């Protein structure tokens, strides 16, 4: 398919070309039902409007880009939902770009958004080592990091979670329930999130008079057949206490325990990260850190709007506390 145009969007949404044009200029000028259809068509067709002319006329495109690594993750899905609702209320259009955890794709999205003269960019970088991403973002007047930061000596505006502090609390719970052998199930080794959470876990071990050995950390764990098999093998090796830093891992733990006929809180013990809407799916209780991605998105949206409106020119870091349940 060639370059998507307003005509394509109008056809997909079953509205007139002028309705799409008015939506792009001012979403609130359109019937809400039509606006939802147009927004869905824009998202489905990955339409990026040609904003140059409008930008020259008004000095603003009223468009904000959101670059994230994986929209299938609950965190980014909920954050996007919050951003969409906030920007709609403030007459801004959100363009969401998925980097698929690919740094080259991420950089291409950023440069494309800058070429389209967007008013700002919210980004969750896919890698901790993101020098090229930083370099590209410096060509954008307004940008905010969401959920994670890249490695840099510079200070950036960001909205983050209190990962370090909450992982110390999780580790304290690990030592309360620890039976024989503990295992840390972590995400990508190059991820800012993994680094921050492991920093808290390591300090939590030290606070409890112990040292976390590297051999007791498994990276790149997620909700997959491979992760399930790895967990099965470690349970068979005698590991019975697991701390996981990614909400997706709980399902792998649950399936692995079922395969072996083990019962959580009887044969194996777990603690880790979760989302409110998934924790209720399981019949067992476990110490957990509950994330609030919708609030994360709202805070990022508010911060980028303040930067665009010149209410907040200095870099500002906002911490959204997670909920800890013992």
Contact call for residues 160 and 317 (beta carbons, < 8 A): yes
Closest CA to 168 of 124, 212, 104: 212
The confidence score (pLDDT) of residue 14 equals: 93
- Write b or e for each residue in 66-103: b if 16 or more Cβ atoms lie within 10 A of its Cβ, otherwise e: bbbbebebbbbebbbebbbebbbebebbbbbbbbeeeb
CA dihedral 139, 141, 147, 148 (to 10 degrees): 40
* DSSP-derived secondary structure for 28-97: GGS-HHHHHHHHHHHHHHT-----HHHHHHHS---EEEEEES-TTSHHHHHHHHHHHHHHHHTT-EEEEE
The confidence score (pLDDT) of residue 292 equals: 93
- The secondary structure of residue 27, as a DSSP letter, is G
212, two tokens? 């976390």
Contact call for residues 169 and 201 (beta carbons, < 8 A): no
Q: Of all helices (H) and strands (E), which one includes residue 305? A: helix 293-308
Say which residues have a Cβ less than 8 Å from residue 273's Cβ, sequence separation at least 6.
Answer: 244, 245, 246, 247, 288, 289, 290, 291
Instruction: Give backbone dihedrals phi and psi of 273, rounded to 5 degrees, phi first.
Output: -90, 150
- Catalogue all structural domains in the chain, each as residue range(s) with its CATH number: 1-47 (1.10.260.40), 63-156+293-325 (3.40.50.2300), 163-291 (3.40.50.2300)
The confidence score (pLDDT) of residue 56 equals: 45
CA atoms within 13 A on the CB side of 255: 14
Q: Of all helices (H) and strands (E), which one includes residue 243? A: strand 239-244
pLDDT in tens, the chain (326 residues): 567 888 889 999 999 888 888 887 777 678 888 888 888 888 888 887 665 555 544 567 899 999 999 888 899 999 999 999 999 999 999 999 999 989 999 999 999 999 888 999 999 998 888 788 888 998 888 999 999 998 888 899 999 999 999 999 999 988 887 667 889 999 988 889 999 999 999 999 999 999 999 999 999 998 889 999 999 999 999 999 999 999 989 999 999 999 999 999 889 999 999 988 778 788 888 999 999 999 999 999 999 999 998 876 788 999 999 999 98
Q: Of all helices (H) and strands (E), which one includes residue 204? A: helix 192-207
């Amino acid at each position: 398919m060639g370059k998507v145009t307003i005509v394509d969007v109008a056809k997909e949404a079953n509205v007139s070309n002028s309705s799409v044009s008015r939506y792009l200029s001012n979403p609130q000028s359109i019937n809400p039902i039509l606006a939802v259809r147009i927004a869905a068509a824009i998202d489905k067709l990955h339409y990026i409007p040609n904003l140059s002319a409008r930008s020259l006329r008004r000095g603003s495109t009223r468009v904000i880009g959101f670059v994230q690594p994986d929209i299938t993750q609950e965190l980014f899905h909920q954050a996007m939902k919050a951003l969409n609702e906030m920007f709609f209320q403030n007459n801004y259009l959100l363009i969401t770009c998925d980097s698929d955890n690919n740094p080259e794709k991420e950089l291409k999205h950023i440069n494309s958004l800058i070429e389209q003269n967007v008013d700002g960019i919210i980004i969750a970088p896919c890698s901790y080592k993101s020098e090229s991403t930083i370099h590209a973002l410096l060509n954008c007047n307004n940008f905010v990091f969401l959920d994670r930061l890249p490695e840099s000596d510079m200070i950036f505006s960001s909205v983050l979670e209190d990962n370090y502090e909450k992982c110390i609390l999780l580790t304290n719970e690990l030592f309360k329930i620890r039976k024989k052998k503990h295992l840390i199930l972590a995400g990508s080794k190059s991820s800012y999130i993994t680094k921050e959470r492991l920093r808290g876990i390591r300090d939590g071990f030290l606070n409890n008079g112990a040292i976390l050995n590297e051999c007791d950390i498994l990276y790149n764990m997620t909700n997959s057949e491979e992760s399930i098999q790895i967990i099965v093998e470690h349970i068979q090796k005698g590991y019975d206490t697991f701390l996981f830093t990614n909400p997706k891992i709980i399902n792998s733990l649950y399936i692995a325990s079922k395969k072996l006929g083990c019962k959580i809180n009887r044969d194996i013990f777990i603690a880790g990260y979760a989302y409110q809407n998934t924790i209720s799916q399981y019949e067992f209780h476990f110490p957990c850190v509950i994330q609030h991605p919708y609030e994360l998105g709202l805070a990022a949206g508010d911060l980028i709007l303040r930067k665009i409106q010149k209410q907040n020119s200095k870099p500002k870091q906002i911490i959204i506390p997670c909920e800890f349940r013992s």
